[in-house]
Structure 1
Amino acid sequence: MFHSFKSTLFLLTIFWCILFCTSTAVYGQEILTTYKEQYDKTRPGSPARFELVGKYAQALFFQEKQQEATQLLKENISIAEKQEDKANAAYLYAILAMNAQLNENVTEAKKSIKKALDYVQQIDVDEIKAYVNYCHGWMYVRDNQEAKAVQSLLTAVSYYEKAPQSPTKLSRLSATYKELTSIYASWDDYELQEKYSKLTLDIAIKQNNPNALFDAYMMMGYLYESEFAQNTNNIYARDLAEKYYKKAIKTYENNQEVIPFRSDLAFVANNLASLYLRAFPKQYNEQATYYANLALQQAQETHQINFQASSYGILAEIALQQEDSKAATSYLLSALSAINSTHLPDKNTLLSIYESLAQLNEREENYLGALHFHKLYLQTYQSIYNQDKLEISRRLEAQYEKEQQKQQLLTLQLSSEKKEQQIQLMKTLGLQQQQELENLKLSEENQRKKLEISQLETETHAQALKLSQLENDNKLLDIQHFKKTLSYQEKVNSYFLALALVFAILLFVLLYVYKQRTKSMKQQKELYNLALEKEKQHAKIATLTALLDGQEQERARLARDLHDGLGGLLSGTKIQLSTLQHKITDANKIEMTKSIEHLDNAVDELRRVAHNLMPDLLLKYGLEEALKEYANRMSTDQLDIDVQFLGYTHTLQQDKQLLVYRIIQELVNNALKHASPQQIIIQLVESDNSYMVTIEDDGCGFNLEQVQQSKSAGLHNIQSRVQFLKGEFHIHSEFNLGTSIDFQFPK
């Protein structure tokens, strides 16, 4: 009845768990002041200042002082770039890129991380190389490029493993493991998620850092809770989740002065209470109530409204299971009051509370109250829907306006550049014209003076006047020649401008062609790698096929040799002894009879061995009849083997039937040899697209990790056959409870 509210609380828990496991540390004003004092005491350009400036800049960023953080980083980057060793420049550029990414300045982020990666190629400091690759992977995660993120993060891990010990190495390696854990958690790859969660825990234990231990225990608890959510029959994962959540709470209680955020305790307590309520029997409701009240107390003291609502919701579920509707209603109303006390209440949580209250009132036949809360539910649902539509509309409008502004700015920049070029050209022409005018004025002045002199000396200097006229003619020719030269130079400048433009266009075309060619070569390389990997898989399958065929042929040959050769010999011996039995004395007849019985037993054992090597029933009547005959033959007074076929249509190919028979035969023999079971169940279920085979026994069980480490040949053969069937193989075993093995393969 209250399933929706319960689901909402569980989703809220998952959200907070991811947040706490992956987010960076919260910097308070006190920490910011401490970093500033330490920063002011260090010398500019010193290693101590470069190490401190990263922490100081991040502290400023998380105190909403992004501009100050960016300015601080750029000032120190300019100093670091002047140094011969570029390690500090790479380190600061990586932090600048992360801050820009968080500030949604994608262009600046990409530019900064590129600079950091360029400087990484020039240094030999493995820890700085690792940190830059970690930052690159971190940015890929935020850009939803998780495959590339994994590559960068694994590169960072390899550099960290080669780097010498330092005060920061373990904490940075732990951050890298946490990012990998988050990625594999989103991919539902529990094996790798568990691997990196455990590595994070190992580092926390080495550091002996309560904060790191608390985070690691929370991650491990969440990991196993997720595995249990996927398979509610996995009690082992449930118990591990409980164990690690309890360890996190104990770590907090023993180190309260070092772990200052009490909301962390509220978060873990809510998770543990929810686990007891959902996954454990009802007798654990007392523990669920205890941890829900603990979470509620801490959430109230730290004013964590969402945690309070989660605690009230869990308490309401417990009261409902105890059929205490009044208490359940009270807890739900308290959750509603807590959520409404915030300025921006979580409408999804409100939606769940209203729905639960409406259902509870309807159950109590308070139809007026049920109608009231149902109306509130509809109003809240409509507001969420309208708000989502408005948010999408605003986001699209903002994106459109932003793109439009970018286009306008680009147009204005191009227009401004063009006008500036025109102005420069006009200034040049103006200077040339001004120079020409001054030359003309000087020439005119000279002509005027010469004319005055010639007029005064007209009578006495006739020859001089003629000479002056000739000089004037020459100067006019020079002026005309100068004008022609100037016109020619203007044309040449125009030609050069046109050639430069053509050259720029050609250069752009060549760059575009080169980029396309590089992209095409990269795609061809990727296709080649895929084809090579596919060919390797084909070769591996062919080798495995040949190996299995060889094994079966050898088994068939041995079966024929035993049956036709040794079997005939034993039968002939029995006939001869039977003939001699009438010819010997009565005293020896008893011994002769025992010998004949031993021969009968030997013949039966020979037939059993030959049948195990090559089951004739499988070839004649199929897998179902062969397995039932095998189970009947292996069953004894102390052992019951039951074979079940569900939905089987007898369409499985004969070579696959033989592989399945061999796998089941090997598993049953292993159970008889090592587990001492009293009952074995063999079940084959055929579905539309696949076959599922399960073998269960009630034997003593075994340690799966020890078996995998021992690299058993029998287990390797089974896995090889399942791999040949393109199937999946799973083992679950517990001491004194038995073993369940299943494998699934497609049709």
Structure 2
Amino acid sequence: MRLFYRIICTLLLLSAATGSQAQWLADSLRNIISQQQLPLEKRIDATDRLGQVVFFNKGWKEGLQILRSSLAMAAPMKDGQYRAHTYGMMAASYYITGDTEAASRCLDSARYYIRRSRSGLMKGYVLYMQGWLESRGHKETEAIHTLQQALDILEKEPDGLKYMQSVYSELAGVYFRWYDLVNVEKYTRLSLDAANKIRTLDKLISANQERGSYFVNVYRHDTTRKTALDSGLAYMRYSLHIARSNRQRLITPSDIPFSAIGIASVFAENLPATAASKDSIDYYNHIALEEGRQTRQYVVEAGVYNSLASTAFNRGDYDEAIAYLHNAITTSLQDPLYDKFNLSQSYLGLAEAYENKRDTAMALFNYKQYMDTYRELFDVEKMNKAKDLEARYEMARKEKALLEVRLLATQRNRELIQARYLSGQKDKALLEARYAAIVKDNALLDAKYAAELQQKALTSANFRTTQREQELKAMGERFSYNRKLNKIYSALTIALFLAAAFLYYAFQQRSRALRQKQQLHELELDKINQAHRMTVLSAMLEGQEQERTRLARDLHDGLGGLLSGVKIELSAIHTPETTTPQQAVVSKTLHHLDSAVDELRRIARSMMPEVLLTYGLGEATKEYCSGLRKSGIPVSCQVYHYRNDMSHTRQVTLYRIMQELLNNAVKHAAATQILVQLQQRDDRIFLVVEDDGRGFDTAQLQALKGAGLANIQSRVDMLQGTLEVESAAGTGSTFTIECAVN
């Protein structure tokens, strides 16, 4: 974790050297700016990008001067978004140079001009730059609040994704420092998703590096999660791959050496010291060293020399270690902002090497150099810690004052609520009194109205009483008759409803049973068809392998023996002492027979390798890759933990898959590097074939499937395994096959 942040911080504080790649990108932008018909908005945007390229590759002063010229071009424009964008870039640039006051002034100018614009996209960008500076000023809480405000604005903008990716990346960096892996996972995932959508090169590189660092930290937190380490290395390797594949388009070419040394450190710190791990460390250190020299990234070059010196020291080669350490010191001192930590470690290594060589004088001299350098480093770190503590104290004091203000506001709110409650109680009592008076008045009116109604009712009561007696008798007879009819109708209705319900339930049960039976029948047919397909496929592949074995045996035993017999017969009449024309023809024929026998053996060995039959899949894979390397094909082979407990038939099938993938990479992908990796974990086998060729769109994989990919998929199906394909146009391809041992 510390090494990762050391690399990231150094990348932000060091500028890359000018190279052909940066010069090509700068020239392209200058050609765009020189176009006469180019709109002013696009000219300003291209000038801003040119200033960024020059700043990181040629020089800080020249880059800032180009950004100032962009401000001059934007001065006549009423919309302040263009000057706000340039001032935001200048704020970050000044901070990288160490001028925090100028960075703060530029940010204030950006905030001023963005108030003169309606662009929500640029308002989100200015808030992002404010959060960027707050994060680096040890104001993580304020930075998170500001960056969340930026996200709220950018989410509403159609083109907000390009800045949202930067905001996600910055939030991930803040939570990295707090070691909050839950939020780190969230924001690195969102950052990578956004980078994959906008397809911007520098964002793809940084997003994959951050995602890989997250998985490496997950493994460091719980070393039982081996898949997390594999995922971390995969993301970091992919970041290095796309950086190297698009070298001319890089704004900061130093991305390549920093990515390489980061991968080498992961191998060194987290994997066992096996021969394969050492090869990987040497491979990525070599990339870091070569790229560091090209881009003048002295901290990377010095770090690699220190690593090589440590390896030589551990095996007892003190002279070689001293030579590497002198190279590291010379490289570090070439940098005006050299890394004192690497330099102190170089002096310490020299002192220990000279001490083991019994050279006391040189050991003492280098120990003094180490102490002087370490004292300077300690003073700088102590000052940084003091600033950090002061910032944290100031943050705590502000939070305390904020809590006091909130407490006072809460008390005032309580008093206001209590006063409102007492006033409400008085109003309620007054309303209740008014309501009681109204109720009394209504009661008096109701009493008067009731008395009048009673008087009218008494006059007609006698007449109605006699009439009602007669009507009640007639109604009683009708009610008794209707009651009987209603009972009959109710009984019939209930019976019909029960019969209908029973019929519906029986129909539903029968329909369900028929559907279940039909589904079971279809499942059984599918199972039978699948078993039949697997049987046919297995028989076909087994027949192919048997035919290959028979042909190889017949070629070797039959035709090979015949050719050897012809050679022996011709050798009997061949006398080296004579040089007659007939002897020259015989000698030439013997030479052709030797070539034919060698070619026959090669064909027989390709059809059924003896190494595969004798020593198993691991050694056969190594021998096949070695043969390709001898023929000039750049193939690397790595075999991990293979125990050779797989059945012969499955080994042959997996071997044919590997052959087909390598043939495809050589014939169709135009690859310059091919990696073959065979690994066994418990009862699972993993075969990975990766190349840096032209690649293809995986969304069109079905349309691209020819006979080769179809054969591969058929063999994977026979192994009851899975095939995963990762590729994109111009970024190479990765084929991963996973299956059980038996």
State the TM-score, normalized to the length of structure 2. 0.47
